[in-house]
Amino acid sequence: MSYILLIVAVLLGSLLVLFLKPNNQLVRLLLAFSGAYLLSVTILHLLPEVYMHTSNAKKIGILILIGIIIQSVLESFSKGAEHGHIHVHSDSSKFPWLLFVSLCIHAFSEGLPIHHAGDNLLWAIIVHKIPIAIVLTTFFLQTNYSKKTIVLFLSLFALMSPLGVLVSDKVPFFIEYHTEITALIIGVFLHISTIILFESSENHKFNFKKFTAILLGIVLTILTL
């Protein structure tokens, strides 16, 4: 079921663009909610879990910091697509391979801890994927790429997180070291979610709608854990 839901999240984001054409404000609210939800699940569920299953807390801390660094490097190529921004000229004739590959690596990594972390993380990733799919689909539709090309690359992107779930469940290396790998991904999640929340306030002004979306994401996590 997790494979299907992760694919449906991308499909839903793409369909929202095609039929409802959500404005930037709605996408920002979705991002704020997803960022708060992801951060809350990471702090309340994933962090205690990895420290509970290790006798070397320092190693876990180092891996989390490495995950933050890895995501920082990926974002230098993906141009911030993981948190709702694509700073690439859509009229370029060249396909943005670095952006797409970086985004796929990120999507793959998101799927790795799901099998061991349970439903809370699954839903956090699903909620996170919808606005990202909206942004990615909007970008593709503004380009000169053919419909087949757009469908192909959106499909590849949709399969990355399910592939991460499958690998973590079937490949011995990922099974044996799932605690260490989860620590790395925690760093990725911390980087992305905090960036989303920092960017949710334009010019450091209080925005009630976005504050409500963030608060809702936190409260929902607390109630479901």
At 203, is the pLDDT very low, low, confident or very high (cuts 50, 70, 90)?
A: low
Please tell me what DSSP assigns to residue 22: -
> Per-residue pLDDT averaged across 133-140, rounded?
87
Q: What is the pLDDT of residue 147?
A: 86
- Other beta carbons less than 10 A from residue 65's beta carbon: 14
Residue type, 23: N
Q: How far from each other are the two terminal CA atoms of the chain, in whole angstroms?
A: 20
At 138, is the pLDDT very low, low, confident or very high (cuts 50, 70, 90)?
A: confident
CB 190 within 8 A of CB 44: no
| Integer CA distances (angstroms), 158 to 23, 96, 211, 221, in order | 22, 17, 29, 24
* Per-residue pLDDT at 198 exceeds 80: no
> Per-residue pLDDT averaged across 158-175, rounded?
94
> Per-residue pLDDT averaged across 132-151, rounded?
86
At 131, is the pLDDT very low, low, confident or very high (cuts 50, 70, 90)?
A: confident
pLDDT one-digit tens code per residue, 8-47: 999 999 999 988 887 788 888 888 898 999 999 999 999 9
56 Cβ contact list (under 8 Å, min separation 6): none
| Integer CA distances (angstroms), 213 to 29, 34, 217, in order | 6, 9, 6
What are the tokens at 11?
């499909």
CB 4 within 8 A of CB 151: no
Q: Identify which of 191, 204, 196, 219 has the alpha carbon closest to the alpha carbon of residue 31.
A: 196
pLDDT one-digit tens code per residue, 57-94: 999 999 999 999 998 888 887 766 666 666 555 555 67
At 202, is the pLDDT very low, low, confident or very high (cuts 50, 70, 90)?
A: low
> Per-residue pLDDT averaged across 197-220, rounded?
78
Backbone angles phi, psi at 125, to 5 degrees: -70, -40
What is the rounded CA–CA span in Å between residue 163 and residue 36?
25
Which range has the worst mean pLDDT, 34-43, 77-86, 129-138, 144-153?
77-86
CB 49 within 8 A of CB 60: no
